[in-house]
């Protein structure tokens, strides 16, 4: 299993105590779509004409279900940001919560991946590559990702930074600002794609598309909070522009040599993921207990499922029971590991972040009586 082939992942943003369980349910569904995509890419094959082989052809050439999960998760990430920026010392609380939410599970996943891929494939990871990956942004040091799924995390960090800056200057809840950001990133994606085609260079214009989805998610949340509907003309118009611009951006920026999937499959995956996000918000869909549970462990599921798939690929499970058994084992193993990491790593880290931001040392000083 090539570690650079894992291209879809859920985001890691959390929702606070007043949770929209439908949103959590969509996280769970998105996580399963991601695992299913990667399991099909890696564990199915070698039996032309079989049902399992047709399933692999479907996710590679017709609908990239993993990318559908990516789009849904990025929409959710944008949607929940306004609720994460509030209370006393909001930027401090937001920064602490993001660090404690992202890194404690991420670091073990890096070391686990290094150990597993070194043991199964003999892959060597230089210390510089490992150290760069531990920052979550290895491309700043021109280092590759230890796991391909990590490509979504720098986008997440960049979006958090932009959102924090917008909050600081007081425009995070401005529909006009959010609509302008969404449209600007769409325009940038188209421009980058056109320039790339003309110059025969590849630029990551697809990132601009995902950034636009995240800002649209925030716009939808702000409009819903202010108007109680989320169906203003502005929101509907921006959503329509996203739907029109998405396919050209993907086709213009698609790079055949680095993907297992086709451009058409990613276009279909985008529209399915975007549709799932809108369905979740407007129809309160996906409030189903199994999906809500999977949503709670979706970040660890995202981080650790590639190494579980690799273990399944290199063990007797993949050869004895065939593709259905291997894929089932990958799903079950990934969910069990994700639950364990969530329980013993993520939850303690979340509790730690709450203790940090509520400690007396960082509370606002009390005013003297009579002042």
| Domain regions of the chain by residue span | 21-358
pLDDT of residue 87: 77
Range list of H helices, 86-174? 90-121, 127-134, 152-168
Contact 70, 349 (CB under 8 A): no
Lowest mean pLDDT of 79-83, 298-302, 335-339, 342-346, name the range.
79-83
**pLDDT value for 201:** 80
- Residue 20 exposure: Cα atoms within 13 Å on the Cβ side: 19
Cβ within 8 Å of residue 123, ≥6 positions away: 3, 117
Reported as a single tens digit per residue, the pLDDT across 158-209 is 999 999 999 999 999 999 999 999 999 999 999 999 998 888 787 788 899 9
Residue identified by tokens 């579980």 is: 308
Burial class (CB in 10 A: 0-12, 13-18, 19+), 234: middle
Query: Lowest mean pLDDT: which of 84-88, 132-136, 329-333, 358-362?
Result: 358-362
Residue 227 has, within 13 A of its CA and on its CB side, a CA count of: 15
CB atoms within 10 A of CB 10: 30
Residue 278 neighbours by CB distance under 10 Å: 17
Tokens of 147: 């796991």
pTM above 0.85, yes or no: yes
Which two structure tokens, joined as six digits, stand for 119? 């043991």
Three-state DSSP class for 172? coil
pLDDT at 307 > cutoff 80: yes
- Residue 17 above 70 pLDDT? no
- Judge whether residue 18 has pLDDT over 50: no
Among the ranges given (84-88, 264-268, 274-278), the one the predictor scored with the smallest mean pLDDT? 84-88
Distances (CA, A) of 203 to 79, 189, 192, 196, 245: 27, 9, 6, 6, 17
Mean pLDDT of the chain: 87
Report whether pLDDT(253) > 60. Answer: yes
Residue 45: what pLDDT?
65
pLDDT for res 254: 82
Rounded distance, CA 167 to CA 348, Å? 28
């Amino acid at each position: 299993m090539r570690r650079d082939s894992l291209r879809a992942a859920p985001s890691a943003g959390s929702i606070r105590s007043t949770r929209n369980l439908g949103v959590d349910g969509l996280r769970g569904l998105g996580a399963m779509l991601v695992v299913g995509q990667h399991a099909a890419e890696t564990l199915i094959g070698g039996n032309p004409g079989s049902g399992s082989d047709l399933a692999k052809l479907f996710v590679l050439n017709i609908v990239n279900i993993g990318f559908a999960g990516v789009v849904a998760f990025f929409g959710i990430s944008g949607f929940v940001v306004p609720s994460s920026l509030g209370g006393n010392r909001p930027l401090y609380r937001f920064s602490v919560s993001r660090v404690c939410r992202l890194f404690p599970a991420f670091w073990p996943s890096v070391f686990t991946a290094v150990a597993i891929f070194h043991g199964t494939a003999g892959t060597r990871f230089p210390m510089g590559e490992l150290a760069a990956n531990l920052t979550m942004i290895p491309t700043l040091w021109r280092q590759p990702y230890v796991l391909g799924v990590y490509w979504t995390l720098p986008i997440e960090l960049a979006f958090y930074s932009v959102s924090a800056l917008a909050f600081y200057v007081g425009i995070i809840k401005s529909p006009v600002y959010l609509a302008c950001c969404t449209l600007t990133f769409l325009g940038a994606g188209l421009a980058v794609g056109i320039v790339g085609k003309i110059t025969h260079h590849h630029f990551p214009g697809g990132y601009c598309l995902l950034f636009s989805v995240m800002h649209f998610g925030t716009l939808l949340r702000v409009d819903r909070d202010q108007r109680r509907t989320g169906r203003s003309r502005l929101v509907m118009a921006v959503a329509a522009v996203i739907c029109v611009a998405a396919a050209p951006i993907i086709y213009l920026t698609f790079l055949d040599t680095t993907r297992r999937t086709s451009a058409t499959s990613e276009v279909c995956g985008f529209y399915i993921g975007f549709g799932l996000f809108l369905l979740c918000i407007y129809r309160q869909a996906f409030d189903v207990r199994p999906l809500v549970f999977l949503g709670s462990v979706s970040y660890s599921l995202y981080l650790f499922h590639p190494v579980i798939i690799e273990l399944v690929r290199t063990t007797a499970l993949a050869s004895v029971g065939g593709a259905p058994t291997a894929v089932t084992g990958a799903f079950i193993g990934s969910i069990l590991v994700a639950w364990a990491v969530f329980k013993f790593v993520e939850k303690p880290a979340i509790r730690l972040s709450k203790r940090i931001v509520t400690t007396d040392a960082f509370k606002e000083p009390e005013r003297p009586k009579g002042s």
